[in-house]
Amino acid sequence: MKKVGFFQSIRLKFIIIITLLLLFPIQVIGAYFSQQLETKLNENFEESITNNIDILNIQLEQAFSKERTGDGQTSEDGQTLEEEVQSILNDFNAENITELLVVNSKSRVIGATEDSDQSKVGKRLPLPEIQRTLLLGRVMEPDTKVDQKGHRTLVRTYPIYQEEETEETEGRGETEETNGNEKQEVVVGAIYIKASLEGVYGQLQDINRIFANGTFLGVSISVLLGIVIARTITKPITEMRKHAKIMGAGDFSQKVNVYGRDEIGQLAVSFNELNDKLKISQATTEGERRKLSSVLSNMTEGVIATDHTGSIILMNEPASRLLGQEIEDVQGEPLLSVLKISDRLDKITDLNDKESIIIDFSEGDQQLLLKASFTVVQYEMEEMNGYITVLSDVTEQEKIERERREFVANVSHELRTPLTTMKSYLETLSEGAWEDKEIAPRFLDVTQNETERMIRLVNDLLQLSKMDNKDYKLHKEKVNFIGFFKTVAERFEINQDDHIHFEHHLPDKEVLVWIDKDKMTQVLDNIISNAIKYSPEGGTITFNLEVKKQQQKLHVSISDEGVGIPKEKLEKIFERFYRVDRARSRNLGGTGLGLAISREMIDAHGGEVWADSKEGEGTKVTFTLPLLKQPQGDEE
């Protein structure tokens, strides 16, 4: 089981949840508080500015209301309007106001505070704010401007009024009547101010910093509390996880601690009960598994188990050996594909109708036939759960059965041919041909030859039967094979005409072997007879004997210059009743058992036999015999 990191643990999730539950309301409260505080501070700042401007406005209205004489608008005390306005501005407390200008009704600046730009005095200031105030005659809403450095400034204009007397008339038809004089306020100037808001926002920033520090402190404390609380909650869960990992490894001896009677405590109690039940179940399952494993391991047949979809889930060693694949390679693979029967069956459920099938796994010259038997595994409710396939190697059985059928067919064929010939000849003789002095002897001679051929065939069959049943004994003796071989070869050379020549390549020294002379004579007769039968007129038969001391074997080769044997048929010439050219062999009197008997006898002597041939160039039959061990002093 992979270890859970801290950033993936439930403990971190508890801490995050507790922190968010505290942080979210604090942030909501902080945002609302900051917004309301900013609004309140701006209102207080504007109110403070307005109160100061109201006092200044009263003084300026008095200055504008004094009677002026002459072009310079001089009052009775000898001061001009500009001088009096400037005197008032010099005495004004312009705290938080960065610029204060007084303009007349023609938008000309007639006074400015010391902090203001003095170059604007006497010049016309056609600002939209001032124009609207002079025109509309009311205080304009404050406007906040931000310069390139991010400094916020409050801009506002206030009108300066002066009372004037006007006559009010009332008209009745075409007659007018004077009702008297009425005072009316007229805008004679304006106050233009710029006040820095940096002090307000600096104060707001300080308050927010204090609030943020308090928030950080509260969140830190909540994180510490969350760690403690999360540890208290997750400790039992962590222990259960560790014990679950131990249980997964097969150890059911340990139990988790119960820390309380709450839900987690009840979970720990249930966990311990589950541990006890799993321990019992695992012991039972392990016992059954060992029994099953022992049975599967000791079976000679291969066993394959699948699920309900036909995918392989289990395979024993014999099955792996028969299929040539490991369980890791075929686990999860479809059974039909692994057994190579997808072309016979379309789907896995088709196995329900099959008890067993023969599957050919032969590759090249290596033959392998498997018998697959299928059994359906079902639940108690007769619902199909999977399949059990038992594989048996029936290669030898099939081979033996095929050889038996071929043997019976060959024996029947070999016996039927001479019997049919004898029957036809005897019927001809019985019908009167026995009186013909020319035909009768020839028919009797053929009948006698066929009888002798059947006798040879029966004798060969009896000999093979004894060899198959091990019902014979070898009477071995120490023999000088060179002298023994010369005696057998001379017998053939004397009885042959001059149309066949013999060559000898024999060692000059004695070659001692431990053999049964009668059985080995029969082997040489069979091989030499075949060489003579298939040699053309004027052909040469070569006898070659070679001693290989390193192998401690004697190699005996007999070569002819006959028609030869095709390469693909070389291995089959030692099988029973096999003939390369059946018609010619039968005409030459062969039974097809000579080489088969020779191979059995050479095998019984501990040797080997094989053939080399090329079509049109002849055939060489070679067999080996183990050399008789000689004393070290006798070796050359």
Q: How confident is the model at residue 75 (pLDDT cuts 50, 70, 90)?
A: low
- Which residues 6+ apart lie within 8 Å of 441 measured at CB? none
* Residue 502 pLDDT exceeds 70: yes
Supply the pLDDT for residue 69. Answer: 45
The tokens describing 302, both together, are 């291969």
Q: Where are the beta strands (DSSP E) in 379-460?
A: 384-393
For 531-570, the pLDDT digits (tens) are 888 888 778 888 888 888 778 899 999 998 888 888 877 7
The secondary structure of 463-530 as a DSSP string is HHHHHHTT------EEEEHHHHHHHHHHHHHHHS-TTSEEEEE--SS--EEEE-HHHHHHHHHHHHHH
Q: How far apart are CA 184 and CA 173, in angstroms?
A: 26
Max Cα distance, the chain (Å): 197
* Residue 517 pLDDT exceeds 70: yes
Report phi then psi at 312, rounded to 5: -70, 130
Q: How confident is the model at residue 436 (pLDDT cuts 50, 70, 90)?
A: confident
Supply the pLDDT for residue 625. Answer: 92
Nearest to 307 by CA among 358, 348, 352: 348
* Residue 634 pLDDT exceeds 50: no
Domain 306-387, CATH class in plain words:
alpha beta
SS3 219: helix
Q: How many CA atoms lie within 13 A of 13 on its CB side?
A: 7
Give the orientation angle of helix 81-91 with respect to helix 10-65, to 10 degrees.
140
* CA-to-CA dists, residue 101 to 60, 108, 426, angstroms: 12, 10, 161
Report the sign of the C-alpha dihedral through residues 393, 396, 402, 405, in that order.
Answer: negative
Supply the pLDDT for residue 168. Answer: 53
Q: Which of 320-324, 421-425, 435-439, 511-515 has the highest mean pLDDT?
A: 511-515
Domain 11-164+182-204, CATH class in plain words:
alpha beta
Tell me if 158 sits within 8 A of 57, measured CB to CB. Answer: yes
Pairing of strands 302-306, 97-104: unpaired
Beta bridge partners of 165: 183
Supply the pLDDT for residue 4. Answer: 53
Extents of the domains making up the chain: 11-164+182-204, 251-298, 306-387, 399-466, 473-634
Supply the pLDDT for residue 178. Answer: 44
The tokens describing 439, both together, are 């035909």
Place of tokens 């018609």: 583
Supply the pLDDT for residue 472. Answer: 67
* Residue 305 pLDDT exceeds 60: yes
Q: What angle do CA 319, 322, 323 make, to 5 degrees?
A: 85
* Residue 246 pLDDT exceeds 60: yes
For residues 123-141, average pLDDT:
80
Q: How confident is the model at residue 496 (pLDDT cuts 50, 70, 90)?
A: low
Supply the pLDDT for residue 227. Answer: 79
Lowest mean pLDDT: which of 4-8, 494-498, 605-609?
A: 4-8
* CA-to-CA dists, residue 374 to 189, 300, 343, 385, 436, angstroms: 114, 17, 17, 13, 71
Supply the pLDDT for residue 622. Answer: 92
Place of tokens 């047949």: 301
For 170-205, the pLDDT digits (tens) are 444 444 444 555 667 788 888 888 888 878 888 888
For residues 346-359, average pLDDT:
76
Q: Residue 606, by phi and psi: left (phi above 0), alpha (psi -120 to 50) or beta?
A: left
Q: How far apart are CA 303 and CA 377, in angstroms?
A: 14
Residue type, 269: V
Does domain 473-634 fall under CATH 3.30.565.10? My reply is: yes
Pairing of strands 109-112, 97-104: antiparallel
Q: How far apart are CA 101 and CA 566, in angstroms?
A: 129
Q: How confident is the model at residue 71 (pLDDT cuts 50, 70, 90)?
A: very low
Q: What angle do CA 83, 89, 91 make, to 5 degrees?
A: 105
Supply the pLDDT for residue 337. Answer: 84
For 407-434, the pLDDT digits (tens) are 677 667 667 777 777 788 788 878 777 7
For residues 480-509, average pLDDT:
83
Q: How far apart are CA 160 and CA 106, in angstroms?
A: 13
Place of tokens 């009316």: 184
Nearest to 12 by CA among 231, 264, 239, 232: 231
Q: How far apart are CA 446 and CA 452, in angstroms?
A: 10
For residues 20-26, average pLDDT:
80
* Residue 465 pLDDT exceeds 80: no
- Which residues 6+ apart lie within 8 Å of 345 measured at CB? 336, 351, 354
For 383-393, the pLDDT digits (tens) are 777 888 888 88
| Architecture of the CATH domain 399-466 | Orthogonal Bundle (1.10)
Lowest mean pLDDT: which of 93-97, 439-443, 523-527?
A: 93-97
Long-range CB contacts for residues 197-204, cutoff 8 Å, separation at least 24? 197/42, 197/45, 197/144, 197/152, 197/153, 197/154, 198/151, 198/152, 199/45, 199/96, 200/41, 200/42, 200/45, 201/38, 201/152, 203/41, 204/34, 204/37, 204/38, 204/41
* Residue 633 pLDDT exceeds 60: no
Average pLDDT, the chain: 78
Q: How far apart are CA 138 and CA 55, in angstroms?
A: 17
Q: How far apart are CA 457 and CA 449, in angstroms?
A: 12
